């Protein structure tokens, strides 16, 4: 029997682990008021992580790496130690957007440094509460750990120049996981220009979920993505979104389906659209 953890954990399983000292529960909600929401109510025992402060190195100009570039390895090591996470910790992450907020991004970053025991909570905060996991507004007390030693990002990332080459190459697939209206250039709530990278295909991350907001089964996801990827090497597949966060939701879905994790284009549309690259936009008469 395999000891490899599934990248997805269900609320019922989390409840059984509630008192485990090995488990570190992380609240990865993001957006305006996320930390205040955490302070008002969070899953009991959960520690908060901030997308902009802890999971990215936000620059003043998104043209340089997008809205959420990866932090330095040194900075990420400090974040993990501050949270009390060691290489032996079993980390379980949730957010309030079915993993698409920052939970999957943190999962990807931990996987990328070689951390084995990391999972995302299926259904997120709402599902855990509905299942009966207790909530709290208390300050969570925990001790930091010794420095988490990190040598490199072990999962593949793509640069803007690699995406430029890949989008015109039939051997590659560039996947945009944003919703269809953003891809089609009908709306853009976050970046300056609406549209998509020419040559990319649109597979919204929301298609990874069923009608109840849970990840579809590994079998269903495997059938879907194997049809798209075919026999291509994962190195030939690049996944992106607006700023390299939501794309991790699809990378998580692929991993859950047993598919090797493709490349992440961290800069995504937020970088591409600010660098005088060719754009596919909706023309309005």
Active site residues: 241
H or E stretch covering 136: strand 135-136
Which parts of 69-179 fold into alpha helices (H)? 73-82, 103-112, 124-131, 160-166
**Angle 87-89-94 from CA coordinates, rounded to 5°:** 120
What are the C-alpha distances in Å from 183 to residues 101, 179, 186, 235? 19, 6, 8, 23
Query: For residue 145, which of 79, 93, 90 has the smallest C-alpha distance?
Result: 79
Residues in contact with 285: Cβ distance below 8 Å, sequence separation at least 6, in sequence order: none
Q: Both tokens of residue 83?
A: 């949270």
Q: Both tokens of residue 99?
A: 């993993």
Burial (CB count within 10 angstroms: exposed 0-12, middle 13-18, buried 19+), residue 175: buried
Cβ atoms of residues 39 and 62 within 8 Å: no
Q: Both tokens of residue 51?
A: 């997308």
């Amino acid at each position: 029997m395999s000891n490899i953890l599934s990248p997805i954990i269900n609320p019922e399983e989390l409840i059984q682990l509630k008192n485990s000292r090995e488990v570190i529960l992380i609240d990865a909600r993001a957006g305006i008021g996320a930390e205040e929401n955490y302070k008002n109510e969070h899953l009991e025992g959960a520690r908060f992580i901030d997308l902009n402060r802890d999971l990215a190195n936000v620059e003043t100009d998104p043209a340089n790496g997008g809205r959420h570039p990866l932090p330095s390895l040194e900075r990420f090591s400090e974040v993990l130690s501050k949270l009390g996470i060691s290489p032996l910790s079993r980390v379980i992450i949730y957010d309030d957007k079915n993993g698409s907020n920052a939970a999957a991004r943190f999962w990807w970053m931990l996987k990328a440094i070689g951390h084995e025991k990391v999972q995302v909570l299926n259904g997120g905060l709402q599902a855990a509460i509905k299942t009966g996991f207790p909530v709290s507004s208390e300050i969570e007390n925990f001790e930091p750990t010794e420095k988490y030693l990190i040598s490199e990002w072990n999962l593949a990332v793509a640069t803007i120049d690699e995406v430029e080459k890949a989008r015109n190459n039939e051997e590659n697939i560039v996947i945009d996981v944003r919703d269809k209206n953003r891809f089609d250039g009908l709306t853009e709530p976050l970046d300056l220009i609406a549209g998509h990278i020419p040559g990319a295909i649109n597979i919204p991350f929301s298609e990874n979920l069923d009608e109840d907001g849970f990840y579809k089964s590994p079998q269903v996801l495997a059938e879907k993505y194997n049809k798209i990827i075919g026999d291509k090497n994962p190195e030939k597949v690049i996944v992106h979104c607006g700023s390299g966060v939501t794309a991790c939701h699809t990378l998580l879905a692929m991993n859950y389906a047993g598919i090797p994790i493709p490349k992440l284009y961290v800069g995504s549309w937020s970088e591409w659209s600010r660098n005088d690259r060719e754009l596919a936009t909706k023309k309005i008469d």
